[in-house]
Structure 1
Amino acid sequence: MTRVRYGPRDESEIRKARQAGAKLPDIWSTGVLALWETDPEVVAAVLPPPLEPPEQPLVRASISKVDLAGYPLGAGSVAVAARHAGAEGWYPLVMPMTHERALIGGREVFGEPKKLGEVTVERGPGGALHARLARHGIDFVEITGTVGAELPLPEPVRKLDFYFKFLPGVDGEGFDVDPVLVHCLRHERVRKLEAVAGDVVLKESPYDPVADLPVRRLVEITVGEKTSDQKGRVVERVSAQGMLPYVHQRYDDAAQVLDGPPEGSA
């Protein structure tokens, strides 16, 4: 009988897949990173417990093209600074990906808030730079500017992201099991880094309301070539009742279309 590929794999196939996944080559990305200060009460409002706001209310937007042979990937992220149990890190609110393959692994394994979207990074004549994130045909982050001087390369660094991994209940109520808080540790290396003089524009979207994180003071914009690995671990189970008010962060809740733009916006 011809092999049925949906059938069970034997132990050697499972072991080979596991070993291949443990020995991934360096994957380099070219990306734009913008960092800004926003309102402290906004950062505090978006953090599910037990995450706590840091002293400095920072937001980070990352827009990258990833060098995957024959399978180029656009990857984005908008995250706020946070801390947990004395550890400083970042809590991503949305992570647009251009391919389902990248989306599924991150969501199911780590609990990353990945969603299919459009990710663009373009460099033009004279150092012109344009990067954007979009979903459902709506641009919600746009970074424009001019690439300037090359910057000194930073030392390899460890970066910590916080994720919540959960499954909504099959009966439409609560969760199947209590959510868990994941610490995801990345070791990042940079081989090129350039300064960018530019602006960050946050546009209104009912699905990705990052416009609620206004740019009060732009800290920096850079463009660079980076690679990193990541390892995650579950650090604690969290209250289902405490997590429920934040579930809409992960999904395109139909009720979000009823949300109005932030007060004072045009």
Structure 2
Amino acid sequence: MARVRYGARTEAEIAATRARSAGLPDIWSTGVVAVWETDPDVVAAVLPPPLKPTARPLVRANISKVDLPGYPLGAGSVAVAAAHGDQEGWYPLVMPMTHERALTGGREVFGEPKKLGEVLVEREGLVVRASLARHGIAFVEVRGAVSGELPVPEPVEKTDFYFKFLPSVDGAGTGFDADPVLVHCVRNEKVRRLERITGDVVLRESMYDPVADLPVRRLVEITIGEKTTDQKGRVVERVSAQALLPYLHQRYDDPQQILDAPPEGSLEGRA
């Protein structure tokens, strides 16, 4: 019988797939990173327990184009600074990806809040524009001009926090099929070029990606650079399903979000 590709793979085929995945070369990306201070109470409001705010109410937008051979990828995230016990890191609220392959792997393996979207990184001479968009709305846009080279930093380890879970088959919003877990995803980052950008961050209202609720109170930095990262995740603890359930809508485009009006005055100075 001819091979049926949906059929079971042999142990040798599975082992070969694992070996190829482990031997991938460094994959470099060109990305714009903007960091700003927002309102402390806003950061506290978006963090599911047991995550806590850090001393500074920081938000980070990362907008990159990734040089995957034959498979160029746009990847982005908007995250807030967070801590789990003594470990500080970032809690991403949304991670737009331009391809389903990147989306499903991150969601199913690590619990990353990835969604299909549009990711743009453009540079003409010194002028740079980068944006994250979904549903026809560029809800984050970073624009400016390169104003100088920065020293290449030493390799660094960074931690992101994710919640991995499966919503209950009984119905949306009723619970989970098993206890959710908190994942520490550790990334080793190497940078080969880094430049400073003088510019601004524009946040636009979107009911499905309401990052406009994280206003720019003080711009910390904007950079553009070339970097490569690897990542490893581990489950650090099981978390309360009841405590996580009110934050379930962060992961999905919930039709009920049409009832969520933006805070009064939330668009002032953001368009």
TM above 0.5: yes
Give the structure 1 partner of residue 127 of structure 2. Answer: 128
What residue ranges of structure 2 are gaps of 5+ in the alignment? none
1:49 matched to 2:39? The reply is no
CA–CA separation in structure 2 for the residues paired with 1:114 and 1:188: 20
- 1:33-75 residue CA offsets vs partner (Å, 9 max, x unmatched): 0000000000000000000000100000000000011110000
Give the structure 1 partner of residue 177 of structure 2. Answer: 176
CA–CA separation in structure 2 for the residues paired with 1:8 and 1:241: 38
Q: Give the conservation status (yes or no) of the 8 Å contact 1:163–1:181.
A: yes
Q: Give the conservation status (yes or no) of the 8 Å contact 1:211–1:262.
A: no
In the TM superposition, 1:39-188 aligns within 5 A as: 39-125=39-125, 127-172=126-171, 173-188=174-189
Amino acid in structure 1 at the alignment position of 2:166: L
CA–CA separation in structure 2 for the residues paired with 1:94 and 1:241: 22
Give the structure 2 partner of residue 27 of structure 1. Answer: 27
- 1:206-248 residue CA offsets vs partner (Å, 9 max, x unmatched): 0000000000000000000000000000000000000000000
Q: Could you say what secondary structure the match of 1:219 adopts?
A: strand
Give the structure 1 partner of residue 242 of structure 2. Answer: 241
CA–CA separation in structure 2 for the residues paired with 1:7 and 1:92: 36
Give the structure 1 partner of residue 206 of structure 2. Answer: 205
CA–CA separation in structure 2 for the residues paired with 1:105 and 1:262: 34
CA–CA separation in structure 1 for the residues paired with 2:239 and 2:71: 37
TM-score when scaled to structure 1? 0.98
CA–CA separation in structure 2 for the residues paired with 1:141 and 1:262: 18
TM-score when scaled to structure 2? 0.97
Q: Could you say what secondary structure the match of 2:185 adopts?
A: strand
Aligned residues: 265
Aligned-CA RMSD value: 0.7
Amino acid in structure 2 at the alignment position of 1:45: A
Q: CA deviation at 1:85?
A: 1.5
Give the structure 2 partner of residue 229 of structure 1. Answer: 230
CA–CA separation in structure 1 for the residues paired with 2:85 and 2:16: 37
Q: CA deviation at 1:24?
A: 1.6
Q: Could you say what secondary structure the match of 2:6 adopts?
A: coil
Q: Could you say what secondary structure the match of 2:130 adopts?
A: strand
Q: Could you say what secondary structure the match of 2:195 adopts?
A: strand
CA–CA separation in structure 2 for the residues paired with 1:210 and 1:41: 14
Give the structure 1 partner of residue 11 of structure 2. Answer: 11
Amino acid in structure 2 at the alignment position of 1:234: V
Q: Could you say what secondary structure the match of 2:59 adopts?
A: strand
Q: Could you say what secondary structure the match of 2:19 adopts?
A: helix
Q: List 4+ stretches of structure 1 deviating above 6 A.
A: none
Q: CA deviation at 1:9?
A: 0.3
Q: CA deviation at 1:148?
A: 1.6
Q: CA deviation at 1:25?
A: 1.0
Amino acid in structure 2 at the alignment position of 1:243: L
Q: Could you say what secondary structure the match of 1:102 adopts?
A: helix
CA–CA separation in structure 1 for the residues paired with 2:246 and 2:119: 28
Amino acid in structure 1 at the alignment position of 2:207: P
Amino acid in structure 1 at the alignment position of 2:104: I
CA–CA separation in structure 1 for the residues paired with 2:13 and 2:112: 27
